[in-house]
Amino acid sequence: MHWANSRILPNINERYQITGFTNLLQDSTSKKLSITDKLTTLPNRRSFEDVLEREIKLSYRHGTAIALAILDVDFFKLYNDTYGHPQGDKALRDVANCIIGCLRRPSDFAFRIGGEEFAIIITEQDAAKAQAFLDRIREEVEALHIPHEKSTISDYVTISIGAYWSAGNQISDKNELYTEADKALYLAKNNRNELVVHNHQSYVKSA
């Protein structure tokens, strides 16, 4: 597969009439691959950093809400040890496809940021809607029914999610947003297969 940028230009004669079109193609495969995770085809960590910084600036400027969620596949090392790395790769692709299938708005973004970790950026949603959206992803992943016999919380592969929701004028630094989401993920991983959302005032759990 190759990626290309396309520009279609009109061909104009001396009477300024369009006589045809010229399609200019520029190979952008190397650029596309540099921001795409090869295993899952999701945007990678590099793309995540760029998009997060951009969306924080937009939220701050327009005063719109933003939420960052970090998703971690539960007991993934045990899964790899039990079923092998090829099957582990397939499980990650299945989880990635499930996440993609749950995205409904062009202003929401999903990434694989390393190993068994994924990230989702949600914009222009209140805290309750963001929480409901993320909890549906958690439920949909378990509903894939990917067997995980070594898991102590389910017969199937599950994920833990930590998220931080903020009104747009309350945060302007991506490191702060990531740190707070990571703290919420730490709490979610205490029980596993759980969502914890920090919304400035409190931590809200769903399981």
**What domains are defined for the chain?**
1-34 (no CATH), 38-206 (3.30.70.270)
Mutual angle of helices 174-191 and 45-62, in 10-degree steps:
110
Exactly one of 49, 53, 55, 116 is catalytic; which is it? Answer: 116
pLDDT surpassing 70 at residue 172:
no
Q: What is the pLDDT of residue 1?
A: 55
Which among 193, 125, 121, 109 has a CA at the least distance from the CA of 159? 193
Least confident window among 15-19, 128-132, 142-146, 156-160: 15-19
Cβ–Cβ < 8 Å for 175, 98: no
pLDDT at 18 over 80: yes
Provide the CB-side half-sphere exposure for 106 (13 A, CA).
0
CA distance 90 to 95: 9
Tell me the whole-structure pTM to 2 decimals. Answer: 0.81
Residue positions counted in the chain: 207
Active site residue 55: no
DSSP one-letter string for 30-86: HHHHHTB-TTT-SB-HHHHHHHHHHHHHHHHHHT--EEEEEEEETTHHHHHHHH-HH
Contact predicate 42/100, CB 8 Å? yes
Helix (H, G, I), strand (E, B) or coil at 158: coil
Residue ranges with strand state E in 79-194: 109-114, 117-123, 159-166
Assess contact for 143 and 57: CB atoms under 8 A: no
Which tens digits make up the pLDDT trace of 67-111?
999 999 999 999 999 999 999 999 999 999 999 999 988 889 999
For 24, half-sphere exposure in the C-beta direction (CA atoms, 13 angstrom radius) is: 5
Encoded amino acid at 72, one letter? D
Q: What angle do CA 50, 180, 57 make, to 5 degrees?
A: 35
Q: What is the pLDDT of residue 194?
A: 96
List all residues 6 or more positions away from 193 whose beta carbon is below 8 Å from its beta carbon: 74, 138, 142, 153, 154, 158, 159, 160, 207
